[in-house]
Amino acid sequence: MDEILTEKKVNRHPKRKKKQPITWSLIKNQRQLIWMSVPLTMYIVLFAYVPVWGWTMAFQNYRPAKAFGEQTWVGFKHFKFLFTDDNFLRVLRNTLAMGIINLILGFMTAIILALLLNEIKNVLWKRTVQTISYLPHFLSWIIVTGIVATSLSVGDGIINVVLMKLHLIDSPILWLSEGKYFWGIVGASHIWKEVGWSTIIYLAAIASIDPALYEAAEIDGANRYRRMFNVTLPGIKATIVILLIMSVGHVLDVGFEVPYLLGNGLIMDWSETIDIFVLKYGIAQGNYSLATAGGIFKTVVSVTLLLLANWTSKRLGEERLL
Amino acid sequence: MGGKSKSSMFKLSLVTLLSLSLTLAGCGGNNNNSAATKEEGNKPAETAAGNTTGSEEKIEPFEISIFLGEAGQQPTPDNKIYKKIKEETGASFNFEFLAGDLKQKLGVMIAGQDYPDLMTANTQLTAAGAFIPLEDLIEEHAPNLKAHYADYWNMMKDPNDGHIYTLPNYGAYNGKMSTTYYSGPAFWIQKAILKDAGYPQVKTLDEYFDLLVKYKEKNPTIDGTPTIGFEILNNDWRNWGLFNAPQHLIGHPNDGGVVVKDNVAELFADKDYAKQYYQKLNEMNGLGIIDQEAFVQNYDQYLAKLSSGAVLGMFDQHWNFQKAEDSLSTQNKIERTYVGLPLVYDTNTKDYYLDRPALNLNNGFGITVNAKNAVKIIKLMDRMIQEDWQKVLTWGIEGEDYIVENGRFMRTAEQRVNAVDATWKLSNKADAWWGTAPKMQGYFADGNSTDAAAQPEEYKAGLKPYDKEILDGYGINSYADFFSEPGPNPVAYPAWSIDLVEGSDAKIAETKMGELKTKFLPKAILASSSDFDKVWNDFVKEMGKVNVKAYEDRINEQLKWRFDTWSVK
């Protein structure tokens, strides 16, 4: 954006398109633009950078009633507690597993649904399917987990009833008491809630593909599947890669509401995530320092994953975010 | 990057400068603010003190914001009791009820130092310095409160710094206590089962489960719902349904997670007498008596199951499932409501479920550092603790909510129905305030009970025919008579109200143990009987890894502190 505006305003050096030294005259020229960007910059600084100051809590024995100067500094004590706890590896595993399952399943289902929707010729039917599939997005997780728990219940849960009617199982399964089902249940709940919503952006990307390409492919004798694979998919590849990179940064973020609300003692080994661990030993104990240490750890891992994904993508010659 | 370095350096420095100035500005602002609020906090308190002492007669309206650590319903705006309070004292209340998880809510409030004037006591808040010390305020402005708590003064002091931060809502008795209603822990059983079995004496755990098994065989469904033999709730902080029974079964009172013998506390969860209980549950699970979904349910689902009338029995505290029982009464299923039984392992053990009420420490109201009207609030509480107001708060308005015959307080049939009607209460009782406020318990000076339900005439008149039948069958006067008369409490009792201190090793150990119990005990109960020992051994091994010593040490240290401080009155 900046660069385009720069070009239009200062047209004195038409040849030097990319590198333009910032001079006082340039600043003067663009003062309106600069003023306009001040509120936004302030917003970002205030809400994205200033709170980072709170990270200092992780290195203190933070007590809310005391002023900053009165806090005791403890170095890496809280990180040590976090990393040496027996449960830490387990919660890290659970967080990553659920995050990755959600990421992969979410991506595949959204792209597949988008491709299928794109093939529907009847507009009314297409709209109906799309609307129904994205409606659950507007429910909050507390409601969705309630629905999930009810449908999985032994007495009259729809899942057990259907499976029994189909004679796939002999007796109802207590889904939420078996750790091995838990990640799957979480993944499925995510898909049910988010798949429709995620397709919207792909459908938009598909809509921007030049129809001439389809026509050309059709003339060349490509059938529906060929067109899907050789026109539609390559056409939205850039979108897919960018979204993938962005989601990789959020892999660790998936693990609070659903595991917290659906988890119970029997499946704790599979359901507890970093966020729940931090809540239990940090916030709930009034130990904000530990909670902050957990938060820092998550941020560091997320940023690393994001950069890694971006770098990989660049290496493979694909689109990238940064 | 390389080629752009000059211009980007310039940009970078601009950004840094801007952000730095903003950060500094932000910090400065903060400091000023906090200093300002501190001053504000002090000043009005003084001025208010000056004002109110000068003009006692003039009623100045003021509002008290209150956070209650429990879910609840707002009273109606025209509630007659709150209206009366406002007319006569000027005080009006602005209640905020808990929605969601208490610890989380408190954590957020503490992080933001965002407190209303009055809050339900919690050790987390005390540790965060949210409450102001009350001793001097009470000495100076509240002679009636001082008299009310006189016998308990030392007990109320915070063991960590000796100040009084909160005013216990229950357990400050004047004279005798009345026992017709038992709200504590017990093994509960449906009244219909006792009647069906011909009013047997049920003393031991085995006898209890035998009854459940036989009844379930005879009645596979109740009102169309499959019968659930024994229900266990283990959800969030409501975990005693699973954890606490073993201490009672060996004849100890409720001390929370420990058993106190000769003033020494010992963790009991991994001991053999605990194993005995869980082994019994394991055996019962084999017979299909335990609810399959017991360990995946939440509190609401638990209440729903109890309200259906299909649950034969459970271990719980009466107040915890009161709502379900109210619902059963409304559905006119009196035979499905519960009787508490003080079970033990063998008949040589004397039951100790019913205890003499102990001061409800770490409960009740505390005045927060943000309260501007601390003096007015303490004066209001001082006014409310006087007998005339206590009568209004418990019995209601004479002539409207109760009648007086020969000096005895009674209710008409209609008033009795009103008194249990939740909707009626919202506009005619000040329950939201009363539940947490300091209160008189026992008897008023005129001999009437402070609690309408405990007034003997009222209790008799309120009994349903079905209850009379059961009580007559056993030849007793009230359900509380099933329990042995308790002796005097040990000085330091109860251990469950000991503050483990947030974030301490003891607290972390407690959290860890809670986690292990939540994980392993259900596993042990649901295991096949041959696997039980294996799961139990794993559990004991894992518990051994926890810093149990820190936990026991903290409790013992506090028991000793209580022993030293409380016995010298």
Distance, in angstroms, between A269 CA and closest chain B CA? 8
Whose CA is closest to B95, among B439, B426, B440?
B426
pLDDT of B43 strictly over 70? no
| Res. B29 pLDDT band, cuts 50 70 90 | very low
Q: Is the pTM of this model over 0.80?
A: no
Distance, in angstroms, between A122 CA and closest chain B CA? 44
Contact B107 A19 (CB under 8 A): no
Whose CA is closest to A256, among A278, A285, A283?
A278
Asked if B181 reaches chain A (Cβ–Cβ under 8 Å), the answer is: no
Probe site for chain B from A2, A150, A264 (most B CB atoms < 10 A): A264
DSSP A257-297: HHHHHH--GGGHHHH--HHHHHHHHTGGGT-HHHHHHHHHH
Three-class SS state of A7: helix
Whether B123 contacts B72, CB under 8 Å: no
Contact A268 B7 (CB under 8 A): no
Contact B519 A46 (CB under 8 A): no
Domain assignments of chain B as residue spans, ordered by start: 62-175+359-395+420-441, 185-353+464-566
Q: Residue A321 is inside which H or E element, if any?
A: none
| Res. B352 pLDDT band, cuts 50 70 90 | very high
Which residue ranges in chain A fall short of pLDDT 50? 1-8, 10-11, 14, 16
At residue B31, the pLDDT reads 39
Cis peptide before B494 (omega within 30 of 0): yes
What is chain B's Cα-based Rg? 27
Whether B374 contacts B132, CB under 8 Å: yes
Residue B365 to residues B126, B131, B164, B377, B503, Cα–Cα distance (Å)? 11, 10, 11, 11, 23
Contacts with B545 from chain A: Cβ below 8 Å: 86
pLDDT one-digit tens code per residue, B51-109: 444 444 568 899 999 999 888 889 999 999 999 999 999 999 999 999 877 887 888 88
Query: Helix, strand, coil proportions of chain A in percent (round to 5)?
Result: 75, 0, 25
Torsion of CA B334, B335, B337, B343, to 10 degrees: 150
At residue B138, the pLDDT reads 94
Contact A177 B103 (CB under 8 A): no
CA B514 from centre of chain: 18
Whose CA is closest to A93, among A179, A195, A152?
A179
Contact A286 B107 (CB under 8 A): yes
Distance, in angstroms, between A49 CA and closest chain B CA? 8
Query: Pick the residue with more confidence: B9 or B260?
Result: B260
pLDDT one-digit tens code per residue, B170-180: 888 766 666 67
pLDDT one-digit tens code per residue, B417-436: 888 788 899 999 998 999 89
Contact B295 A269 (CB under 8 A): no
Q: Which fold has domain A77-316?
A: MetI-like fold (1.10.3720)
Residues 100-139 of chain B with CB under 8 A from chain A are 103-104, 107, 110-111, 113, 124, 127-130
A196-200, B161-165, B236-240, B387-391: least confident range:
B236-240
CA A270 from centre of chain: 21
Nearest CB partner across the interface for A64, out of B4, B110, B508: B110
- Residue in chain A closest to B526 (alpha carbons) equals A266
- Residue in chain A closest to B114 (alpha carbons) equals A64
What is chain A's Cα-based Rg? 26
Residues 134-173 of chain A with CB under 8 A from chain B are 149, 153-155
Contact B19 A49 (CB under 8 A): yes
Question: What average pLDDT score do residues B114-120 get?
Answer: 94
Asked if A177 reaches chain B (Cβ–Cβ under 8 Å), the answer is: yes
CA atoms within a 13 Å half-sphere pointing along the CA-CB vector of B218: 11
pLDDT of B35 strictly over 50? no
Asked if A182 reaches chain B (Cβ–Cβ under 8 Å), the answer is: no
Contact B293 A154 (CB under 8 A): yes
pLDDT of B545 strictly over 60? yes
Asked if B295 reaches chain A (Cβ–Cβ under 8 Å), the answer is: yes
Query: Nearest-5° angle of CA B495, CA B497, CA B499?
Result: 105
Residue with the two structure tokens 């009648």: B403
Domain assignments of chain A as residue spans, ordered by start: 20-74, 77-316
Contact A41 B18 (CB under 8 A): yes
**Size (chain B), residues:** 569
E-strand spans in A109-255?
none
At residue B176, the pLDDT reads 64
Q: Which fold has domain B185-353+464-566?
A: D-Maltodextrin-Binding Protein; domain 2 (3.40.190)
Whether B63 contacts B94, CB under 8 Å: yes
ipTM of the complex model: 0.72
Question: What average pLDDT score do residues B2-23 get?
Answer: 49
- Residue in chain A closest to B512 (alpha carbons) equals A281
Asked if B10 reaches chain A (Cβ–Cβ under 8 Å), the answer is: yes
Three-class SS state of B475: coil
pLDDT of B216 strictly over 70? yes
Token pair, residue A298, equals 């998550």
Contact A174 B293 (CB under 8 A): yes
At residue B213, the pLDDT reads 95
| Res. B33 pLDDT band, cuts 50 70 90 | very low
CA atoms within a 13 Å half-sphere pointing along the CA-CB vector of B453: 10
Contact A174 B3 (CB under 8 A): no
Beta carbons within 10 angstroms of residue B338's beta carbon = 24
d(CA B483, CA B341): 7
Nearest CB partner across the interface for A265, out of B107, B110, B519: B519
Beta carbons within 10 angstroms of residue B221's beta carbon = 10
Residues 9-68 of chain A with CB under 8 A from chain B are 19-22, 41-42, 45-46, 49-50, 53, 63-65, 67
Report the interhelical angle of A179-207 vs A237-248 (nearest 10°): 140
Residue with the two structure tokens 């379900």: B324
Q: b/e per residue, B243-277, with b = 16+ CB within 10 A?
A: bbbbbbbbbbbbbbbbbbeeeebebbbbeeebbeb
Query: Pick the residue with more confidence: B565 or A64?
Result: B565
pLDDT of B111 strictly over 60? yes
Please count the residue pairs, one from chain A and one from chain B, whose beta carbons lie less than 8 angstroms apart: 99
Nearest CB partner across the interface for B3, out of A19, A176, A286: A19
Probe site for chain B from A23, A34, A42, A45 (most B CB atoms < 10 A): A45
Query: Nearest-5° angle of CA B414, CA B419, CA B424?
Result: 90
Whether A66 contacts A281, CB under 8 Å: no
At residue B197, the pLDDT reads 94
H and E: helices and strands count for chain B: 23, 17
Whether B62-175+359-395+420-441 shares its CATH topology with B185-353+464-566 is answered yes
Which amino acid belongs to residue A127? R
Mention every residue, 6+ apart, whose C-beta is less than 8 A from residue B468.
none
Contact A283 B522 (CB under 8 A): no
At residue A2, the pLDDT reads 46
| Res. B155 pLDDT band, cuts 50 70 90 | confident
Question: What average pLDDT score do residues B322-336 get?
Answer: 90
Contact A265 B234 (CB under 8 A): yes
Whether B470 contacts B515, CB under 8 Å: no
The proportion of chain B whose per-residue pLDDT surpasses 70, expressed as a percent, equals: 88
Contacts 24+ apart (CB under 8 A), B295-300: B295/A177, B295/A264, B295/A265, B295/A266, B295/B232, B295/B234, B295/B522, B295/B526, B296/A149, B296/A174, B296/A176, B296/A177, B296/A264, B296/A266, B297/B233, B297/B235, B298/B235, B299/B233, B299/B235, B299/B236, B299/B238
Query: Pick the residue with more confidence: B527 or A63?
Result: B527
Query: Nearest-5° angle of CA A133, CA A134, CA A137?
Result: 130
At residue B11, the pLDDT reads 54
Contact B128 A50 (CB under 8 A): no
CATH class of B62-175+359-395+420-441: alpha beta
Nearest CB partner across the interface for A65, out of B128, B508, B518: B128
d(CA B222, CA B228): 9
Q: State the pairing for strand pair B441-442/B173-174.
A: parallel
Whether B438 contacts B364, CB under 8 Å: yes
The proportion of chain A whose per-residue pLDDT surpasses 90, expressed as a percent, equals: 34
Q: Is the dihedral of CA A246, A248, A252, A258 positive or negative?
A: positive
Contact B107 A283 (CB under 8 A): yes
Whose CA is closest to B182, among B419, B402, B486?
B486
Contacts with A140 from chain B: Cβ below 8 Å: none
Contacts with B523 from chain A: Cβ below 8 Å: 266
Distance, in angstroms, between A167 CA and closest chain B CA? 22
- Residue in chain B closest to A284 (alpha carbons) equals B103
